Structure 1
Amino acid sequence: MKITLHSSMAALGAAMMLLGSCSKSKDSGTIDLGNGTNTGKSKYVFVVFSDGSGGEASRYIISADDIKSGEISVKNNGVETNAYSFLAQNNTLFGITYADQGPTQPYKLDETGVLRKYGNQVNTEFTGAYTKIGTEAYVGISVARSLESPVATLYKFDAKKLMLAGRNSVNLAKITGNGEMANFNGLFEVNDKIYMPFNCSPGVTGQVTKYVDSTWIAVFNKADMAYQKVIRDGRMGPIGNWFGMQGVQQIENGDVYAWSTSAGITGKPSTKPSAIIKINATTDQVDPSYYFDVQAKTGKKIARGTHIKNGKFLMSFYQTEVTGGVSGGIVNLAIVDVINKSVTNVTGIPNHAQMPYENKTFIEEDGKTAYYVLKDDSKVLYSYTIDTEKATATRGVKFTGIQDVTSISKLKY
């Protein structure tokens, strides 16, 4: 995977406090928190790339008490990490290295709010996509891109015991049924299943897929990670984007929604519009009566989406005819209500270049506030605070000495 994801910070703003004991070093110490701390406090946690000043450009996990104002840097703040992919589960941040064996390192906040390594590093797989399962596990799948060697491995990681809890292999060439192989763009928990949207890939260097005008979702059993079937629809193009972990979401009433940018794969755009479809999660079948042609309604294509609450999504939209894949294109934000088929533009936020892989977002539990990181025209990174009910945005914390933010999450301590 190339991606994703999620965040200790310096007291540069009035609402921020210095993490003095968490220095800019490769190892801030490993802790054993038992069942974890419980002070009733929390911090926003970011994974960032330093700007390389002094000849050093490294990845750090940093945190902050408040991100509505002030500045954040890696100075005297955070843990240096080799991991590239991150997800928060069971109040633990898991850093997955994008490499052979996929070494995975858990991190937690200690009782003083300092982020530290937690437990031992565990080898998993060369992970290309992943998702949280329930409240105490996550599932990942390894990378396989060659038609000559199309077998990938699904694995389950117990986020409470910090250990592997199962594996199962799948032949990606047997899923498509068209001579190409499945290239998964994400994993999503849906009841007792795992939905894995994919695009088709020839699996041969230099060749481009012929199949860009259909939507495919592979369905796996959650318990044993065994492949079951493919859900297909021909009204829009492939779902999601490589390493994006977005494109499918089950909402509170049980319905599942999936969206396509129709931006195409490796430069070959779909002829179908950017749209949203609905899937009946009890039957794993597309609802033929629901189709939201977002491109016809707005004149724009969806780039990325994050579920807020009750069928409302924070989505980024391409503002020009130029679209991106893992990154690229100029985007802005809107609140999309998939139930009522409405789109409301978010005010107070500038058009900006789409950052790689996924939107850097965090949604508060009540769904009323979202945080979104962007890089402006002057190449400065900011977090914007979005009132999801009013569809308004306010510029918040500034990232200094940081060239990229790859994920946002929130941990309690």
Structure 2
Amino acid sequence: MFSKRQGSQLLAGLCMTAVSLFSISCSKDKDPVDNGPGNGNGKSKFVFVVYTDGSGGEAGRYIVPIDDPTKGTLSTTGIGVETEAYSFIRQNNRLFGIVYAAQGPTTPYKLDATGKLVQAAASINTEFTGIYGAVNKDAYVGGSVNRSKESAVATLYRFDAVGNKVAGRNTVDLAKITGTDEMAVWTGLSQVGNKVYIPYYCTPGVSGENTKYVDSTWIAVFSYPELAFQKVIRDGRTGFIGNWFGMQGVQQIEDGDVYAWSTAGPSGPLKSTKPSAIIRIKKDTEVFDQSYFFDIEAATGTKLARGEYIGDGKFLMTLYATTETGGVSGGRVKLAIVDVLKKTVTNVSGVPEHAQMSYNMKVYVEADKKTAYYVMKEDSGKLYLYVIDVATATGKQGLYFQGISDVTSITKLDY
């Protein structure tokens, strides 16, 4: 485990590395629809991962449960559990905290029968995890990080979220899957049917050199549970999918179709000449559907920033409010509900235009798909949770985060 100071240094180094490599957005949390087994009480609490701002003492990273996110104030005083983990994924009604380090120590947390957050089992070493996503109701898959052509081998691993152990591994040569003279940089991981889809962009893998391939979309397809590379799905109508460390960009919806979305590159070496758009892979196929193309730039006059799935073909997405597009953070955005079936974009009223926070959107969607929760920092510098009514596309200010400099994850656990 890292100390607080080492964790802060690692985070700073991570952000500088990401910014120097490209300008795209990134998340630490991905929630499967299933809530998993509880303790039989039929109760639940929201769980946030927050960074304190140091106003109450030494700054730190905490996991904090709370009953009602629609009002009141959240602080870490007396209720937060300190953690060294950087990434967080929910599976089997556990919150797995993954340390961004060489062995990726992973610790599961749960709510006990009284609703108190406790460690659920022993910490397990995994990998230096840069991508991850839930699979079925009992596992998640993570992948290590590599950007050097001299050492282009990465590892995918399958984590058994019930048995709390690494259940399988497979190595992948990132220089061989692209079919080009460049290597792949993974930008996310999603389950699609009985396979794993990993979107990526290309890089020469040499310091100071930029990719030649900015006007294509790529998804690498892997078998599950073997995690063996099978093929690449490519399209040339928009840019690459996803954001490094953002864990978003590909989503299979209820009818089995898969939707993918692209910012089409921010400013800098990854900027695409193609429009920001949403594209589709039809159920039981492994090719992009050429009959479907939702040109977001043509429809709205701006680019997509990020997105998280609500349900029934609707996504909660951020759109850039100006021509400035951010990287891992930066750029001003506005919130919208995007219906990929009807090809509509509806701005969410009641939520002000705001600066994009670091990495991915911090979103949780209720199981009934009627309410979504969205964390944002207002121009005043204060952090709030906004409660979004999906049917009316309206939002209102909810929970205030006191003494908190950042909120990196939001989920819900049963107890």
Do the two structures share a fold, i.e. TM-score over 0.5? yes
Amino acid at match of 1:127: T
Q: Residue 235 and residue 6 in structure 1: after superposition, are their counterparts in 2 closer, same or farther (change >3 A)?
A: closer
SS in 1 for 2:290: strand
1:409 matches 2:408: no
How much does 1:343 deviate? Answer: 0.6
Gaps of 5+ in 1: 8-34
Decide which of 1, 15, 27 is 1:4's aligned counterpart.
27
SS in 1 for 2:176: helix
- Residue number in structure 2 paired with 1:270: 272
Cα displacement string for residues 230-266 of structure 1 (whole angstroms, at most 9, x for unaligned residues) = 0000000011111111111000000000000013475
How much does 1:64 deviate? Answer: 0.7
Q: Residue 266 and residue 170 in structure 1: after superposition, are their counterparts in 2 closer, same or farther (change >3 A)?
A: farther
Tell me how far apart the structure 2 counterparts of residues 134 and 266 of structure 1 sit (CA, whole Å): 37
SS in 2 for 1:297: helix
- Residue number in structure 2 paired with 1:11: none
Decide which of 117, 128, 131 is 1:129's aligned counterpart.
131
How much does 1:280 deviate? Answer: 2.1
Q: List aligned pairs for 1:277-288, cutoff 5 A.
A: 277-288=279-290
Gaps of 5+ in 2: 1-13, 16-25, 31-36
How much does 1:46 deviate? Answer: 0.6
- Residue number in structure 2 paired with 1:339: 341
SS in 1 for 2:177: helix
Q: Residue 195 and residue 245 in structure 1: after superposition, are their counterparts in 2 closer, same or farther (change >3 A)?
A: same
Contact 2:267 2:325 in 1 (8 A): no
Q: Residue 264 and residue 6 in structure 1: after superposition, are their counterparts in 2 closer, same or farther (change >3 A)?
A: closer
How much does 1:212 deviate? Answer: 0.8
- Residue number in structure 1 paired with 2:154: 152
1:39 matches 2:62: no
Amino acid at match of 1:279: I
Amino acid at match of 1:338: V
Tell me how far apart the structure 2 counterparts of residues 359 and 276 of structure 1 sit (CA, whole Å): 18
- Residue number in structure 1 paired with 2:317: 315
Tell me how far apart the structure 2 counterparts of residues 125 and 75 of structure 1 sit (CA, whole Å): 32
Decide which of 194, 197, 200 is 2:199's aligned counterpart.
197
Contact 2:28 2:246 in 1 (8 A): no
Number of residues paired by the alignment? 386
Q: Runs ≥4 in structure 1, deviation > 2 angstroms?
A: 1-7, 263-268
Tell me how far apart the structure 1 counterparts of residues 38 and 71 of structure 2 sit (CA, whole Å): 29
Decide which of 391, 394, 403 is 1:392's aligned counterpart.
394
Amino acid at match of 2:287: Q
| TM-score, normalised relative to structure 1 | 0.91
SS in 2 for 1:148: helix
Decide which of 300, 304, 326 is 2:302's aligned counterpart.
300
Cα displacement string for residues 112-162 of structure 1 (whole angstroms, at most 9, x for unaligned residues) = 111011110000000000000000000000111110000000000000010
Cα displacement string for residues 23-51 of structure 1 (whole angstroms, at most 9, x for unaligned residues) = xxxxxxxxxxxx75121110000110010
- Residue number in structure 2 paired with 1:249: 251
Tell me how far apart the structure 2 counterparts of residues 360 and 243 of structure 1 sit (CA, whole Å): 13
How much does 1:314 deviate? Answer: 0.5
- Residue number in structure 1 paired with 2:8: none
Decide which of 171, 174, 179 is 2:173's aligned counterpart.
171
1:230 matches 2:232: yes
Amino acid at match of 2:204: P
How much does 1:179 deviate? Answer: 1.2
How much does 1:4 deviate? Answer: 3.3
Tell me how far apart the structure 2 counterparts of residues 171 and 233 of structure 1 sit (CA, whole Å): 22
Contact 1:219 1:227 in 2 (8 A): yes
Tell me how far apart the structure 2 counterparts of residues 111 and 70 of structure 1 sit (CA, whole Å): 24
- Sequence identity (%): 60
How much does 1:192 deviate? Answer: 1.0
How much does 1:199 deviate? Answer: 0.7
Decide which of 164, 168, 187 is 2:189's aligned counterpart.
187
Contact 1:322 1:329 in 2 (8 A): yes
Tell me how far apart the structure 2 counterparts of residues 403 and 72 of structure 1 sit (CA, whole Å): 12
Amino acid at match of 1:351: E
Q: Which has the higher contact order (CA 8 A, sep 6+)?
A: 2
SS in 1 for 2:387: strand
Tell me how far apart the structure 2 counterparts of residues 362 and 267 of structure 1 sit (CA, whole Å): 32
Amino acid at match of 1:327: S
- Residue number in structure 1 paired with 2:33: none
Tell me how far apart the structure 2 counterparts of residues 79 and 283 of structure 1 sit (CA, whole Å): 44
Tell me how far apart the structure 2 counterparts of residues 305 and 356 of structure 1 sit (CA, whole Å): 14
1:330 matches 2:332: yes
SS in 2 for 1:295: helix
How much does 1:53 deviate? Answer: 2.4
- Residue number in structure 1 paired with 2:213: 211
Decide which of 369, 373, 395 is 2:375's aligned counterpart.
373
Cα displacement string for residues 67-104 of structure 1 (whole angstroms, at most 9, x for unaligned residues) = 10110001111100000000110000000000010000
Tell me how far apart the structure 2 counterparts of residues 201 and 319 of structure 1 sit (CA, whole Å): 29
SS in 1 for 2:76: coil
Tell me how far apart the structure 1 counterparts of residues 282 and 173 of structure 2 sit (CA, whole Å): 26
- Let me know the Cα RMSD of the aligned residues: 1.4
Q: Residue 172 and residue 295 in structure 1: after superposition, are their counterparts in 2 closer, same or farther (change >3 A)?
A: same
- Residue number in structure 1 paired with 2:105: 103
Tell me how far apart the structure 2 counterparts of residues 149 and 55 of structure 1 sit (CA, whole Å): 42
Amino acid at match of 2:195: K
- Residue number in structure 2 paired with 1:27: none
